[in-house]
A and B are shown apart, each in its own frame.
Chain A
């Protein structure tokens, strides 16, 4: 077990692309760190640099306090789980598990003991003599995990290990990996583009975009206090609604106007974040999470400042919840093209009670939780009330 530290790490490829741009990140001992971001954000490159599969262009990486820039993958004593398993097709499961130990000259009896133990942990005992091609996807994934476990390395590196599994199996293996890491207490860096995996598994999440670190924090904090518009739109499913709005003062409180709609910002929120007052009379980007919009029929009497009215465009019933899409006439925020109809119309999403009677074409009456509105600076994209310290080197 060892801490892993990135100090100003960059990766510049031969064609000049900066896949990772001066990344500073500390992964503590026994921590489960999730690197998350859209495809091509540099998360896999960052992981491969830790593994020693990719050279480090600038900066240093430390494992357990030692600079490993010029240390071969073999000597870094880390184990990696690949997206497509990368099992040796000509070896049995037992040989696959034991290959790394054999190369490290672990005595045969010890090797057998560790293979047995890993197989027990992962439920692979009946398959030890099989070749990978005789295994199902989930079993192969487990062998790949087992290969990492038997080595008892200082750190696990996982590169989207669940992306090749079907949805049901993914949930199961996700929980397995999570508890396995808890039990073994091995420092883990886990790369994924799936924000659900990031939220459920990580002790902390590092959100990356275009090679730049956007925010590092616990899943709850990343969700509740996104550092900028990108993180706000990326973390959370369905994604946060983001529209351009204007803050004005009316009847003593702040009101956010967008299109024909307006929402009164809860005074509690303003009191908590006095920075908002500086934006009075200015443009902002307003963020509302779909789960903070509820069908008015399920909420008691509310002040008119919390009501949004629109025509339902599409209804998606998921059983446990219902998603209602509705267009509003508002300047769609430039950052995220999600739900963009055109420049003048933006599609918003509400996640309401499944008992809702609302159907396509109905006039919606939605109640917004105005204590949980998010505001971003339209020029920098930063959250107006983000703690600046949680945004290491964020440029966006």
Chain B
């Protein structure tokens, strides 16, 4: 009994929506159909839904989209895919048919195995991870505490320090290479060389004004009332930092972490200068060093392994990094 009624009802509601308030049988002017208020609100694109209905737009824009997408894939993913293919191709085939899509003499899975065992990619990867983890920790500590002082605690000299931090952003990193190197060789006060120790990479990594500034900008936007409420609740500066400010800063912590990690993963020059013991070098330094004595296929396999780790890591953590819990419900805007 009910179903036909619903069907009829649906049908009638459909006819109402498509014909507006026009009388049945009266053909609606075309222009009325284009002005669809609902889709106009939900679709904020440059090309409106009514434009999409025109074949010229649909085909033209569609083709452009496809072209752009293909170009993006070729440029962005191409080298990576080529590397993946070459890593399991025998060295001779790589030289003879570098752009071939097939394996002329079969896949050489042994490349990966050789890279792992002979070139000891695993060992150097661990080095890299250790370096990345350490400098991530140092960077995060400096960035959060620095941003906290400049944004939340705001001592009188905070403005001067902020200005000075901004100034250092204009200094090219390469200019600082020599002074930094000298400081690592003979650090003031300590007078014990950091050469060949990971501290030589970790500590300078913390000296990133960029991180401090983006942290500060984020903290600046946290509602002050929340800090005041915490102060009245009895929180001191340290407690405020750990119990209120940090938990609310997950999104920005994620961003800084990603930046810190990736920057350190691909860092070459600095670790190359300060870590001269091959056993301690990260893979980014080690790969160029072994390039001369290693078969190209094996070398590319090692490179592939070095690339895969951060990509996989990012894919795993991206959701927790980039989404964040936000400030929902903290204050009424």
CB closest chain-B residue, reference A140? B329
Q: Which residue of A lies closest to B333 (CB)?
A: A84
CB-CB < 8 A to A137: which residues of B?
332
* 8 A Cβ contacts from A348-381 to B: none
Contact A80 B239 (CB under 8 A): no
- Select A131's contact among B235, B239, B329, beta carbons within 8 Å: B329
A51-B232, A73-B232 known; A86-B226 Cβ under 8 A: yes
Contact, CB under 8 Å: B330 / A86: yes
Q: Does A133 contact B (CB under 8 A)?
A: yes
> B228's closest neighbor in chain A, by CB?
A53
Q: Could you tell me the distance between the alpha carbons of A80 and B236 in the complex, rounded to whole angstroms?
A: 17
Q: Given A84-B225, A86-B223, A86-B225, answer yes or no on A140-B332 (Cβ-Cβ < 8 Å).
A: yes
In the assembly, what is the distance between CA of A76 and CA of B225, in Å? 18
B24 CB-CB contact with A under 8 Å: no
- Say yes or no: is A135 at the interface (Cβ < 8 Å to chain B): yes
Tell me, rounded to whole Å, the shortest Cβ–Cβ distance linking B159 to chain A: 13
Q: Complex: how many Å from CA A85 to CA B232?
A: 14
Are A90 and B248 in contact, with the CB atoms below 8 A?
yes
Q: Find A132's partner among B235, B243, B328 (CB 8 Å cutoff).
A: B328
Q: Contact: A82 with B225, CB < 8 Å? A: yes
Give the A interface residue count (CB, 8 A): 33
**Which of A99-107, A170-178, A190-198 binds B?**
A99-107
Within 8 A of A (CB), among B253-292: none
Total A-B residue contacts, Cβ distance less than 8 Å: 94
Contact yes or no, A78 B244, CB < 8 A: no
B residues near A99, Cβ cutoff 8 Å: 230, 233, 235, 243
- B12 within 8 A of partner (CB): no
B229 within 8 A of A: yes
A133 touches B232 (CB 8 A): no
Is the CB of A134 closer than 8 A to any CB of chain B?
yes
In the assembled complex, the CB of B123 is this many whole angstroms from the nearest CB of chain A, namely 40
Given A74-B236, A88-B226, A90-B248, A53 contacting B329 (CB threshold 8 A): no
Query: Are the CB atoms of B329 and A87 closer together than 8 Å?
Result: yes
CA of A89 to CA of B234 in the docked complex: distance in angstroms?
A: 18
Q: In the bound complex, do residue A89 and residue B232 qualify as a contact, i.e. CB atoms below 8 Å apart?
A: no
Q: Which B residues lie within 8 Å of A142 (CB)?
A: none
Q: Please name all residues of chain A whose beta carbon is closer than 8 Å to the beta carbon of B333 when the two chains form the complex.
A: 84
Q: B46 interface residue, CB < 8 Å from A?
A: no
Given that A104-B234, A131-B328, A133-B328 are contacting pairs, would A90 and B228 also be in contact in the complex, using a CB cutoff of 8 Å?
A: no
B231 close to chain A: CB less than 8 A: yes
Q: Is B40 an interface residue (CB 8 A)?
A: no
A237 to chain B minimum Cβ distance, whole angstroms, is 25
A134 CA / B330 CA spacing, docked (Å): 11
Q: Is the CB–CB distance between A135 and B329 below 8 Å?
A: yes
Shortest A71–chain B CB gap in Å is 12
Which A residues, 68 to 125, have Cβ-Cβ distances below 8 Å to chain B? 72-74, 78-80, 82-91, 99-100, 103-104
- Kindly state whether residue A246 has any CB partner on chain B within 8 Å: no
Is A147 interfacial (CB-CB < 8 Å)? Answer: yes
Residues in chain B near residue A151, CB distance under 8 A: 233
Q: Mark B302-333, 1 if CB is under 8 A from A, else 0.
A: 00000000000000000000000111111111
Other-chain contact of A103, B226, B234, B326 (Cβ < 8 Å): B234
Q: Contact between B226 and A78 (Cβ–Cβ < 8 Å)?
A: no
Q: A78 contacts which chain B residues (CB < 8 A)?
A: 232
CB of B153, distance to nearest CB on chain A (Å): 14
Contact A74 B228 (CB under 8 A): no
Task: Please tell me if A66 contacts chain B, counting CB pairs below 8 Å.
Answer: no
Nearest CB on A from B233, distance (A): 4
Would you call B231 and A134 a contact (CB within 8 A)?
A: no
Q: B247 interface residue, CB < 8 Å from A?
A: yes
Task: Give the residue name and chain of the A residue nearest to B233 (CB).
Answer: A100
Contact of B330 among A72, A74, A87 (CB under 8 A): A87
Q: Which residues of A contact B248 (CB under 8 A)?
A: 88-90
B331 to chain A, nearest CB (A): 4
Of the A-B pairs whose beta carbons lie under 8 Å apart in the complex, a sample of 26, sorted by A's number, is A51-B228, A53-B231, A72-B231, A74-B231, A74-B234, A74-B236, A78-B232, A82-B228, A82-B229, A82-B331, A87-B226, A87-B329, A87-B330, A88-B226, A88-B229, A89-B330, A90-B247, A90-B248, A90-B325, A103-B233, A131-B328, A131-B329, A132-B330, A133-B329, A140-B329, A151-B233
Beyond A84-B225, A131-B328, 7 additional contacts (C-beta under 8 Å) are A53-B232, A82-B228, A87-B226, A99-B233, A103-B235, A134-B329, A137-B332
